[in-house]
């Protein structure tokens, strides 16, 4: 093969592979571990603010997509989500905050806006576990408001009601008698 062409190919694969790989990592991981997926786009996220505030409207417009996966009991048991998060670290995501040990855990990773933004995280409360991927360039300062709106909009999408007996239920899990 022409040496020049080979170099071009190496550069191109090096440049584009990480971009493809970003959401694929969590997708591949959750293919075998998810029980439920919530996929929220700006149009659905806007519904979380019934007051129609222009600031919230602007904020959700910066979000390309927010995907929340409810994971099954195998993820809780084998902590395989840690490998998935390590994959994101290898792609240049920095740890923003983490809490582990005990039954409540959370991990939040993100990249600077100038590096493409995006956040990925895992939240675990007792035996319920969720992972999320947020693509888009959202300002840090807007994250608390987004979480608040997601919590307030719980009646509609019921994302954060982790203690609800039906939430995160895996149809493959054995039912209690």
Partner 1 sequence: MKKSILMIAFAFLAAGAFAQGSVITNYFDKYADNDNFTKISVSSKMFSMFTEMEPGSEAQKEFMEAVSKLKGLKIVMVDSIPNARELYKKAAADVGKAGYDELMTVNDPDQSMLFSIKEKDGIINELIMVVGGKENFVLLSLYGEIDLKNISKIAQDMKVEGLQNLGRMHHE
Tell me which residues touch partner 1 (CB under 8 A). Answer: 94-102, 104, 110, 139-141, 143
Instruction: Name the minimum Å distance from CB 105 to partner 1.
Output: 9
By C-beta, is 96 or 157 nearer to partner 1? 96
β-sheet bridge partners, residue 129:
71, 124
By C-beta, is 95 or 126 nearer to partner 1? 95
By C-beta, is 24 or 94 nearer to partner 1? 94
Secondary structure element (H or E) that encloses residue 105, with its range: strand 105-110
> Please, what sign has the CA dihedral across residues 168, 151, 126, 34?
positive
By C-beta, is 69 or 119 nearer to partner 1? 119
Instruction: Name the minimum Å distance from CB 157 to partner 1.
Output: 25
Residues 6+ away with beta carbon under 8 Å from 116: 137
Report the distance separating Cα 132 and Cα 72, nearest Å.
14
Instruction: Name the minimum Å distance from CB 140 to partner 1.
Output: 4
Residues 6+ away with beta carbon under 8 Å from 126: 103, 104, 162, 163
Report the distance separating Cα 89 and Cα 161, nearest Å.
29
Instruction: Name the minimum Å distance from CB 143 to partner 1.
Output: 7
Instruction: Name the minimum Å distance from CB 96 to partner 1.
Output: 5
By C-beta, is 37 or 103 nearer to partner 1? 103
Residues 6+ away with beta carbon under 8 Å from 78: none
């Amino acid at each position: 093969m022409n040496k020049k062409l080979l170099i071009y190919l190496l550069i191109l694969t090096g440049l584009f592979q990480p971009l493809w790989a970003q959401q694929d990592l969590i997708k591949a991981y959750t293919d075998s571990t998810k029980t439920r997926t919530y996929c929220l786009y700006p149009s659905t996220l806007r519904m979380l603010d019934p007051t129609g505030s222009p600031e919230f409207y602007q904020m959700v417009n910066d979000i390309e997509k927010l995907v929340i996966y409810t994971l099954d009991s195998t993820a809780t048991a084998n902590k395989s989500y840690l490998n998935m998060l390590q994959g994101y670290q290898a792609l240049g995501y920095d740890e923003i905050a983490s809490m582990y040990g005990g039954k409540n855990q959370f991990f939040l990773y993100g990249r600077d806006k100038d590096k493409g933004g995006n956040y990925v995280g895992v939240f675990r409360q007792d035996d319920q576990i969720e992972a999320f991927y947020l693509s888009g360039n959202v300002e840090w300062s807007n994250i608390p408001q987004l979480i608040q709106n997601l919590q307030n909009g719980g009646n509609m999408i019921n994302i954060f009601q982790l203690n609800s007996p039906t939430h995160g239920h895996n149809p493959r899990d054995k039912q209690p008698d």
